[in-house]
Amino acid sequence: MLARILLISGSHPPLKDGVGDYCSLLAKWMAERSGMEVHVLTSRGCAKPAGSGAEMHPVIERWDWLGLRSVLREISRIKPDLVHIHYPTLGFNRSLMPNLLPAVLRLLSGPPAVVTLHGFGLYSVLGKIRMLLSCAGSRAVVTVSDHIRRSVSDFAGDMGPFTPLKGKLAEPIYVAPSIRPPGQGSRRRAAALRKSWAVPKGELAIVFFGFINEGKGLDDLLRAAKLCLDSGVGPRITCLSDFNPRQDHFHGRLEALIRELGLASRVSFAGYIPEEDVAGHIMAADVVALPFNYGASTKRTTLLTALSCGMPVITTSDTCLPPIFADGTNVILVPRKNPSMLSRALIRLAGDPVLRKRLGLGARRLARRFVWKDIAGAHLSLYGRVLSGAHAGRTGKDKS
């Protein structure tokens, strides 16, 4: 009999949240490739993506303790063999209830729970303790990068005998690009966009994309662009991002910085781009720049998406990246928060089309290490181990 899996995420498309996008794609791949019955419990207002293959339950009004009864009612109605909670998401609205849901299910002799932590290292001590509460009642804990796994393991190890992780921390299961693989349609779209951008010969078309916040380093990219301009290299930056300077304080600061640097005619914001059009927009550029303030890592779907498009990518180095990311071979790495070094990398790529082509080919090869087929398979293997362990535990209790 095929297992019935319930994914729980506070966010799901069309809500704009990277973890929600991840859950949507994971559900789709598991449902289509395994024949497993996959359900998704999420916030009210989330629509079912076309052809997702999973059964959607967008019914939860709130994720605080007043909403616990609704969550438990849905779990009882769906009758999953296993519950998989993804944390954190914007939809949870920092409520504590999702953190303690695995423990509640265990107390109620409910289905075994697995938790995926999509972040950890940047949280405060209290935030980390809060996230580890999710592990207390779970049967397995998944992380989405080696760096997050190390951070979780080190912090939990410092808790000594009070650690909730004993034997639960699984090997990381990476993320993958959140868009459709580029095809001929993407290339045609890229050619048309490039023509419409009217980038003068000798200037460099740069794409930045993803949610704009203080951790993404767009301010550093703007300062680097000014240094490029002063050095005789004309940058044209297209941001595939929503930009709301009247509503978002940081966006307002960026708008002021663009004016201060004299880049108003060289920076544009395309707004939210539908998933099917993202590859074409990325491939219309010469270079993708993703100067994360905290360093790049394999949890960055924007980075993996750019690589999958076969683009030369400049990003920021950090211990978060595994050694398969090789500077000068499949990516260009620069120090964090360093506009000067970022500008040098941009100028170097502007004058070296051979290097850009080599990096693009290396990027495409590297992207093959991060594919949804493998990610879905790793989850299915984990679920099998958890369900076998839960069954063995129940059998042992029955005998006693």
Question: Cα separation of 154 and 42, whole Å?
Answer: 31
Q: How confident is the model at residue 53 (pLDDT cuts 50, 70, 90)?
A: confident
Reported as a single tens digit per residue, the pLDDT across 378-399 is: 999 999 999 998 655 555 454 4
Work out the angle between the directed axes of helices 301-308 and 18-34 (0-180°, nearest 10). 60
Q: Give the total residue count for the chain.
A: 400
Q: Is the pTM of this model over 0.75?
A: yes
Q: How far is Cα 135 from Cα 153, in angstroms, rounded to an integer?
A: 12
What percent of the chain stands above pLDDT 70?
94
Q: Which one, of 266, 239, 270, 235, lies nearest residue 345 by Cα?
A: 235
CATH 3.40.50.150, applies to 4-176+372-399: no
Task: Identify the pLDDT of residue 180.
Answer: 73
Domains 4-176+372-399 and 184-367 share a fold: yes
* Residue that wins the pLDDT comparison between 280 and 32: 280
Is the per-residue pLDDT at 360 higher than 80?
A: yes
Q: Where are the domains of the chain?
A: 4-176+372-399, 184-367
Q: What is the pLDDT of residue 234?
A: 95
Single-letter amino acid, residue 134: S
Residue 134 phi/psi, 5-degree rounding, is -60, -25
55-60 sheet: strands from edge to edge: 55-60, 37-43, 4-8, 82-87, 113-117, 140-143
Query: What residue ranges in the chain does DSSP mark as E strands?
Result: 4-8, 37-43, 55-60, 82-87, 113-117, 140-143, 204-209, 235-240, 267-269, 287-290, 313-316, 332-334
CATH no. of 184-367: 3.40.50.2000
Q: What is the mean pLDDT of residues 239-250?
A: 95
DSSP string, 166-202: TTTBPPP-----SSPPP-HHHHHHHHHHHHHHTPPTT
State the pLDDT confidence band at 272, using cuts at 50, 70 and 90. Answer: confident
CA distance linking residue 9 with residue 43, whole number of Å: 8
Residue 54 and residue 28 in contact, taking contact as beta carbons nearer than 8 Å? yes
